[in-house]
Structure 1
Amino acid sequence: MNTNALIPHHSPPPGHARAGLSRVISAINTADFFPAMLDYLRSIVPFSGAFITHLHPKRPPDHIYDNVRAERHREVVDQYLDTAYLLDPVYDVFLSGRCNCAMRLRDIAPDQFLRSTYYQRYYKNIALRDEMAILVPQGNGAIFYSLGRIGDEPRFSSRAVRAFEAEIGIIGALTGKHFERGHSGPVASEATSPDRMLSAALDAFGEDILTAREREVATLILKGHSSASISTVAGIAVGTVKIHRKNIYRKLSISSQSELLSKFLRSVLS
C-alpha cells in the first residue's frame, strides 16, 4: 500500500486549539487561510491528510485546497472531483440536508462500503486509514473538510468527533467570513442533479435496457450497500434484490461489481 500520496505534516502539540485562532483570523481573505485553518484543526485533533471542497446540490464540487502530492493529483483529487464524489457517503449526508457537523466515514457508510469495489479502488488507493468529515454551510452548498489519517495511524475516536463538534461554530464562522470576502468557487453554466447524473450514467452504459428499479439497485450496489441493506432502503425483499442484481449483470454483459464500477466511471467521464 502506497502511503506517499500525502505531503507529510507534523501536528502541533495537543491542547493549543485557541493558539492558532489569531493566525486564522489574520489569514482571512488571503492564500494562507486554509493552511492556517488546518493547523488550527490539527491542534484540536491531529491528522495528516487534508482535501477541502465546496459541495453543491446540483453540480460537481469545486476544489478548494489539498495537501496531496503533485504526482498523485490525478489519481486522488481529480478522480474525486470528476466522478467519485457521486458515490461518497459524505456527499449523501450533504444531500440529505445535514450541515454544521463532524462525522467519521465508518459512522455514515453503507454496511458493505469497506468491501465495495469503489472503496477498494479509490479509498485504499490513497492509503486512507480513516476519514473525518466536517461540513459547514456556504451559500446553498457546504465546505467539506476531509481530514485523513493514513498508513498505520490510529483511527479517529468518538472523542475526536465530539472535539470537532465543540468547535464547529468557530470553524463555520471563520470559513463563512473568508468566503464572504469574495473567495467563492466558480459557477457552472449548467446544473444537473446528482440523481439525474447517476441515472444518466447508468442509462449510458445500460443502453436504456435497465428498468428504473434496476437503476436504483445498481446505484445502491455502487455505493456499497449489501443485498440486505438494499432491501431495507428500496423496500423490496432480499430475494428480489438478488434477482435484480443478476438481471443487471446479464443485461450489461458483466460478471462482477468491479466491472459495474468501471462502466459507471467511464460513462460519467464520457
Structure 2
Amino acid sequence: MTMSLEDIAWHRSVGQMIDALDQTNFWTQLVRLLEHYVPFDSWVVLLFSSEHKPLVFAECPGQDGSPDQLFQDYLNGLYLLDPFYIASREHSRTGLLRLAEVAPEHFELTEYYQRYFRLNVVADEIQFNSHQPDGRTLCLSLGSRQRFDREQIALLSLIQPWVLSLLRQRLPYELKQVSTPEPPELNDEWGTHLTARELDVGRLMLSGCSSKEIARKLDISVETVKVHKKHIYRKLGIKSQSELFSIFLQAQKDQGAPHPVS
C-alpha cells in the first residue's frame, strides 16, 4: 500500500508533536496542526472534575490580549450549565463529542445559550475528551461560527486516536505546573430557600432540559417535575426562566468574588 504525501505530512507532524510534549507551546502547535485540516474560530483546554471547578490549561488569545469576561463568567459558575461539563459528570467517556450529542432538547432556548454560548462560541462546538482513571476529564474544545459539517467531523473522528493519545501523554506535564491546590467547586446551592431536589430541577431547567429529560435524569415523574417548577417560581418570587437565570448568575458571581478583608 502506498502512502500519499498528505499521509506522510500528517505522520511527520504527529512525530513533531510527540517531541513537543514537554514544551510550553505544545497546545499552540497542536491547535495549528488541527486547524490545517479543519477550520475553527476558538479553542480551550480544560480539565473537568466532579469535585472542583474546571482548570484551564490553555486557551486561544483574545483579539486585544485581555481576559475574556464571558469566559470568566463561565469559570465563575456558568460551567455548571455547560452541556459538555454535565455530560462529563453523568457519563464520562473518552472520544470525540459533538454539541448535538450532549445538548439538552431546549438548549438553544436557554438564557445560557442566548447570553453566553452564542456570543462566545457562536454556533457549534466539538470536544476531544480524554477520561482519566481518577474520574477527571481532559478536554480540548474547538468552537466554530459555523456548524461543523459531516466531512469535517469524519476527519476529526479519523484522527482522534492520535489526538487523544497526545492529550493523555501531555496531562502529567500540565499537572506539574499546578503549584497550588485546586479550588473547591463553587457551591451550586444558589437558591437558599429551595430544597436539594428543587435545586436539581432548577439547574437542569437552566441547562435546557425539557420536563421529560429532567424526569428521566432524576428518576421522577413529569408531573413531579412540574410541581417542583411551580415551587421554585413561587419561593423565588419569579415568573420566567430569564429571572431564574439572573438569580443563578448573580449567585455565582457573588461566590466567585473576593471577600473583603475585615
Task: Quickly name the TM-score band, shorter chain normalised.
Answer: 0.7 to 0.9
- In 1, are the aligned partners of 2:48 and 2:54 still within 8 Å (CA)? yes
Q: Does 2:50 match 1:66?
A: no
Q: What is the SS of the residue equivalent to 2:18?
A: helix
Relative to structure 1, the CA distance from residue 182 to residue 263 in structure 2 (aligned partners, 3 Å threshold; closer, same or farther) is closer
2:155 pairs with one of 151, 163, 167: 163
Aligned position for 1:4: none
Other structure's SS at 1:20 match? helix
Contact kept? 1:134, 1:144, Cα under 8 Å: yes
Alignment deviations for residues 164-190 of structure 1 (CA, whole Å, 9 cap, x no partner)? 233233212222333334654535356
How many angstroms does 1:74 deviate by? 3.5
Q: How many Å apart are 1:249 and its aligned residue?
A: 1.0
The answer on whether the counterparts of 2:54 and 2:75 sit within 8 Å (CA) in structure 1 is yes
Q: Deviation of residue 128 (structure 1)? A: 1.4
Tell me which residue corresponds to 1:223: 207
Letter in 1 for 2:153: V
C-alpha distance in structure 1 between counterparts of 2:149 and 2:234, whole Å:
43
Q: Alignment partner for residue 142 of structure 2, among 131, 143, 147?
A: 147
Question: What letter matches 1:95 in structure 2?
Answer: R
Q: Take 2:117 and 2:66, find their aligned partners in 1: how far apart are those partners?
A: 13
Work out whether 1:48 is the aligned partner of 2:41: yes
Instruction: State how far apart, in whole Å, the 2-side matches of 1:181 and 1:233 are.
Output: 36
Following superposition, the deviation at residue 134 of structure 1 comes to 1.1
Query: Do the aligned partners of 2:92 and 2:131 also contact (CA within 8 Å) in 1?
Result: no
Look up the match of 1:102.
96
Indicate the SS of the match to 1:188.
coil
SS in structure 2 at match of 1:52? strand
Aligned to 2:120: 126
Is 2:23 the counterpart of 1:36?
no
2:123 match: secondary structure: strand
Contact 2:14 2:162 in 1 (8 A): no
Provide, for residues 210-234 of structure 1, a one-character-per-residue CA deviation record: whole Å limited to 9, x for no partner.
2333222112101111223223333
Q: Distance in 1 between matches of 2:157 and 2:107?
A: 24
Does the residue aligned with 2:232 lie in a helix, a strand or coil?
Answer: helix
- C-alpha change, 1:34 and 1:71, in structure 2 (3 Å) is closer
- Aligned letter for 1:212? A
Which segment drifts farther, 212-221 or 158-167? 158-167
- Distance in 2, Cα, partners of 1:223 & 1:267: 16
- 8 Å Cα contact 2:52/2:182 also seen in 1: no
Return 43-52 or 29-38, whichever deviates more.
43-52
Percent identical: 28
What residue number does 1:179 align with?
A: 171
Aligned to 2:258: none
| Structure 1 residue 251 corresponds to structure 2 residue 235 | yes
Structure 1 match to 2:260: none
Q: What is the CA distance between 1:35 and its match in structure 2?
A: 0.8
**Cα gap change, 1:213 to 1:169, in 2 (>3 Å):** same
Corresponding residue of 1:92: 86
Superposed counterparts of 1:231-250, under 5 Å: 231-250=215-234
Q: Say whether the 8 Å CA contact 1:24–1:37 is kept in structure 2.
A: yes
Unaligned 5+ segments in structure 2 are: 1-5, 256-262
Q: Does 1:20 align with 2:20?
A: no
Distance 1:213 1:139, change over 3 A: closer
Q: How far apart are 1:163 and its partner, in Å?
A: 2.8
State the shift of 1:68 in Å.
4.0
Distance 1:115 1:176, change over 3 A: same
Looking at structure 1, the residues matched to 215 and 221 of structure 2 have their Cα atoms a distance apart, in angstroms, of 5
d(CA) in 1 for partners of 2:85, 2:197? 22
Q: Judge conservation of contact 2:95–2:164 (CA < 8 Å) in 1.
A: no
